[in-house]
Amino acid sequence: MNDETRIVQIGERAFAALRERGILPSPENYLVWYTHLAGENPALSRMIRLLEQNRDSFDAKRCRELYARYFLRSDMQRTLAEATDRIKGLTERLGDLLAHSGEESARASSRFEAAARALATTCGLEEIRRVVVALDAEARRMAAETRTLGCELQRSSREVAELQSHLERMQREVETDPLTGVGNRRHFDVALKRLAARSLEDGTPLSMMLADIDHFKRFNDTFGHDVGDVVLRLVAGVIRRGVRDNDVVARFGGEEFAVLMPGVELAEAAAVAERLRATVAGRRLRSREDGRDLGMVTLSIGLSAYCPGEPLDRFFRRVDSALYEAKQGGRNRVVVRDVEDRLVNEEELARAGRAGEQARASA
């Protein structure tokens, strides 16, 4: 049997298995059964055989559970799949409820119209009383229907709010470095694209710094990874507290951190970088066990500003080049490159800072 014939036969068996169990042959459900029948995932096949031996119900819900377990590899993928199912169920429930409410409203309208016609042709007090009683009963029934609809809408609103909160929490977790609590590389990449686009649109300045912990490997090799983790958390905390809330802080690599500062000119960003460097250098590490001095931590920092419209990789390379020069120049220092990739000295930065202050004062 050639491969093409085998694939067709397995596909037909997968469709037959889904039909036999009354399961919609969606791409996800088909993938579960095709993979099982083809023997491509032994763990999945063992689970399906176990479920069948235990005579567990094998429906669409069970298929979705298997798909989530064996084919969705990340927490975010699973969360999005669960969210999709919940939203689908929510919209179907609301659709049914609103359709039912519409049908009930139409029937009530017909009954009200019939009562109005009866009143127009009735002159006896007893007949009028019966019509009024019927109208009162109909009004009460419609009020109850309306309350039910209102309660269901409130419940659905709460579900949507919970779902939104869960997705936002997952998004934060996906973009957060678990050790230090600041953003990770993914968070940085997303923020850089967003802030660069804003800079291009309205001319908002954007500065970036890369900070690298000097001799970090020596801390790890000498004192162990636990001390290395303490150093990483220390530096992350100093940087996070030393910048504004709307600045983006991310752990970019093993011992490297990146900071994006929207709305900040290069001279001001250089002053921030120097404060961060001095703050970290002013800390000394001591062992919690015996109080011995573990030495000081220092940072080398590279800094530059974004030229609106330039490729983002060029912007990053310029900042990285400044960081490299800070390392080569003796470490524990800040090196700045301008948008033309020229090294900027302290005098030029001070002059640019004064010019910026004067411009803001006259604005």
Indicate if 255 belongs to the active site.
Answer: yes
Asked whether 301 and 277 are in contact (CB, 8 A), the reply is: yes
- Residue whose pair of structure tokens reads 């020069």 in the numeric block: 325
DSSP string, 51-93: HHHTT----HHHHHHHHHHHH--SHHHHHHHHHHHHHHHHHHH
Residue 359 identity: A
Which of 147, 174, 201 is where one domain is finished? 174
Please report the pLDDT score of residue 169 as a whole number.
66
Please report the pLDDT score of residue 80 as a whole number.
58
Asked whether 131 and 119 are in contact (CB, 8 A), the reply is: yes
Which of 112, 144, 174 is where one domain is finished? 174
180 inside domain: no
* Same domain, residue pair 138 and 242: no
Burial class (CB in 10 A: 0-12, 13-18, 19+), 216: middle
Please report the pLDDT score of residue 361 as a whole number.
47
Termini Cα distance of the chain: 81
Among candidate residues 218, 248, 219, the one with its CA nearest the CA of residue 234 = 219
Rounded to 5 degrees, what angle do the CA atoms 256, 356, 319 make?
A: 20
CB atoms within 10 A of CB 52: 10
* Same domain, residue pair 280 and 221: yes
244 inside domain: yes
- Long-range contacts made by residues 169-178, C-beta under 8 angstroms, separation at least 24? 170/75, 170/76, 170/79, 171/76, 173/75, 174/75, 174/76, 177/236, 177/250, 177/251
Please report the pLDDT score of residue 132 as a whole number.
58
- Residue whose pair of structure tokens reads 């997705």 in the numeric block: 167
Q: What are phi and psi of 48, to 5 degrees?
A: -65, -45
Q: What are phi and psi of 334, to 5 degrees?
A: -115, 130
Overall pTM > 0.75: no
* Same domain, residue pair 189 and 88: no
Residue ranges, the chain, pLDDT below 70:
1-2, 56-57, 72-143, 145-150, 152-154, 156-157, 159-161, 163-173, 289-291, 346-363
Asked whether 177 and 237 are in contact (CB, 8 A), the reply is: no
86: CB partners within 8 A, 6+ apart: 159, 163
Its domain, for residue 61, covers: 3-71
* Same domain, residue pair 229 and 356: yes
- Residue whose pair of structure tokens reads 């993914």 in the numeric block: 186
Please report the pLDDT score of residue 359 as a whole number.
47
Rounded to 5 degrees, what angle do the CA atoms 32, 35, 40 make?
A: 145
230 inside domain: yes
Please report the pLDDT score of residue 174 as a whole number.
72
Please report the pLDDT score of residue 220 as a whole number.
79
Please report the pLDDT score of residue 337 as a whole number.
94
* Same domain, residue pair 231 and 167: no
- Residue whose pair of structure tokens reads 């678990």 in the numeric block: 178
> Which token pair is 91?
């919209």
The single residue of 255, 256, 265, 268 carrying the catalytic annotation is: 255
348 inside domain: yes
| Angle between helical axes of 42-53 and 60-71 (0-180°, round to 10) | 150
* Same domain, residue pair 159 and 250: no
62: CB partners within 8 A, 6+ apart: 51, 56
> Which token pair is 56?
């567990």
* Same domain, residue pair 337 and 236: yes
* Same domain, residue pair 206 and 90: no
21 inside domain: yes
* Same domain, residue pair 93 and 206: no
Using alpha carbons, list the distances in angstroms from residue 363 to 256, 264, 265, 359: 37, 16, 16, 6
CATH code (residue 213): 3.30.70.270
283 inside domain: yes
Q: What is the pLDDT of residues 161-192, one digit of tens each?
A: 676 666 666 666 678 888 899 999 889 999 99
> Which token pair is 360?
């803001």
* Same domain, residue pair 58 and 87: no
Which of 17, 36, 71 is where one domain is finished? 71
179 inside domain: no
Please report the pLDDT score of residue 114 as a whole number.
64
Question: Domains in the chain: how many in total?
Answer: 3
SS3 at position 207: strand
- Residue whose pair of structure tokens reads 């019966």 in the numeric block: 130
* Same domain, residue pair 32 and 160: no
* Same domain, residue pair 226 and 304: yes
Please report the pLDDT score of residue 76 as a whole number.
54
240 inside domain: yes
